[in-house]
Amino acid sequence: MMRTLITGGLGALMLSACALIETPPPERPAVALPLDLDAAPMPGPVLDNDAYPKLGQRPEAGRPVASRSAVVAPNGAAATAHPLATQTALDVLKAGGSAVDAAIAANAMLGLVEPTGNGIGGDLFAIVWDPETQQLYGYNGSGRSAMDATLADAQAKADQFRDGKTLPSYGTISVTVPGAVDGWFALHGKFGKRPMADNLAPAVRYAREGAPIPEIIAWYWSRGESRFGPAHERGELEEFENAKKLYFSPAPAAGSLFRNPDLANTLEIIGKKGRNEFYSGIMA
């Protein structure tokens, strides 16, 4: 079995893949249960409808019942924050891709449908178990500080917007060189089976045609403008107009389709020409 944990930005993806094995179901003895039609029905759980979130509200922890049973899959599994990303990972596994191929494809899709926590502007960390070598690999894809960044610039921002001891939450001084794309290619070079362009193709397609946004992601998305806008007005966030035009004009409502043709073009170029186009090519 092969498992990998990949994160892009703040999002996480857990995948597993193994060889196809057909196992016959165990034999179960027939059991006859007595049925008393006159007996009182068994009491069911008492559910408080007010405990469930309303449309557009964020669900809180401690809900009265679980929403679904645990998933058991002998041939491969994927778990992400969006059904479309999960389905993309499963499609890659079914097509013969490795768990790393599936993780890259799903991570690219999450950059489209969950930009609140994922994207090619973020970092990547991975733990990969290789069943062939029986070795565990770790990958640190956190980017370095920008080439022109200085300690004096960082201290000035900390003095201006914080207590002088911590960096501000917004702005270029707090952003490192994105490590996600470099991490994709590093992991793909060792564990990938499919061409990178094929792994990124589903995200490219949905970025052009539109992908549905579920309720929880829409909730996080909508609150972004209330944070980024004031940060831009006070000078902490240097540039916001481009992001505002794409992501907050308006923010997509739950169930709506979101399109990002610029991201589609970017992923298509990365898939065809490689990582260098992102770090030193036309996108740098």
Q: Is residue 246 scored above 70 in pLDDT?
A: yes
What pLDDT, on the 0 to 100 scale, is given for residue 24? 36
* CA nearest to 240, candidates 250, 248, 230, 232: 232
Predicted confidence band of residue 65 (pLDDT cuts 50, 70, 90): low
Domain boundaries, the chain: 78-122+178-212+258-283, 215-254
Q: Is the peptide bond before 250 cis (omega within 30 degrees of 0)?
A: yes
Q: How many residues make up the chain in this entry? A: 284
Mean pLDDT of 235-259: 93
254 CB-contact burial (10 Å; exposed 0-12 / middle 13-18 / buried 19+): middle
Q: What's residue 31's pLDDT?
A: 38
Mean pLDDT throughout 258-267? 97
> What percentage of the chain has pLDDT greater than the value 70?
76
Neighbours of 195 (CB within 10 A): 13
Average pLDDT on 9-19 reads: 35
For residue 12, pLDDT beyond 70: no
Cβ 104 vs Cβ 203: under 8 Å:
no
103-114 in b/e burial notation, b at 16+ Cβ within 10 A? bbbbbbbbbbbb
Give the model confidence (pLDDT) of 122-133 as tens digits.
999 999 999 889
Tell me which range, 61-70, 71-80, 229-238, 259-268, is most confidently predicted by mean pLDDT: 259-268
Q: What is the pLDDT of residue 56?
A: 57
Cβ distance 266 to 282 under 8 Å?
A: no
**Taking residues 107-117, what's their average pLDDT?**
96
The answer on pLDDT for 49 being more than 50 is: yes
Distances (CA, A) of 3 to 38, 122, 129, 137, 193: 52, 22, 6, 11, 15
Amino acid identity for residue 98 in this structure: S
Q: Specify the pLDDT at position 1.
A: 34
